[in-house]
Chains A and B, each alone.
Chain A
Amino acid sequence: MTPMAATERTCRVTRNKSAVDDARRFAELAVAYCDVDCRQAVAMVVSEFAENLVKYSAKDDQVYAGTISILREGGVVRIRAKNAVASPDEGRRVQEAITRIATSPSITELYRSRLQELFKNPQLPRAQLGLLRIAFEGGFRLSCSFEASVLEITAERACLTQ
Chain B
Amino acid sequence: MAVPVPGPLKVDSLLVELPRADQLVMTGSVANPAIQAQLARYLESVHAHVADKRLSAFAVDVKGLTFVNSSAIRVFVDWISRAQGAGYKLVFHVDRSITWHRLSFSVLKSLAPSHVEVTEASATGAA
Contacts and interface: CB of A to CB of B under 8 A. Distances in A.
A40 B74 contact: no
B100 A47 contact: no
Contacts, number: 72
Interface string A43-81: 110011001000100000000000000000000000000
Contacts of A138: 99
A133 B74 contact: no
Interface string B62-95: 0000010111011001101100000000000000
Given A47-B69, A115-B107, A40 B98 contact: yes
Given A20-B32, A51-B32, A115-B108, A137 B80 contact: no
Contact of B71 (A37, A112, A127): A127
B73 A133 contact: yes
B124 to A, nearest CB: 14
Nearest to B97: A36
A111 interface: yes
A133 B70 contact: yes
Given A17-B34, A136-B103, A48 B74 contact: no
Contact of A119 (B32, B70, B80): B80
Q: 5 closest Cβ contacts across the A-B interface? A: A129-B70, A127-B74, A20-B32, A130-B70, A119-B111
18 contacts: A17-B34, A20-B31, A20-B32, A21-B31, A41-B99, A44-B67, A44-B100, A48-B69, A112-B110, A115-B108, A115-B111, A119-B112, A122-B78, A127-B71, A130-B70, A136-B103, A137-B103, A138-B99
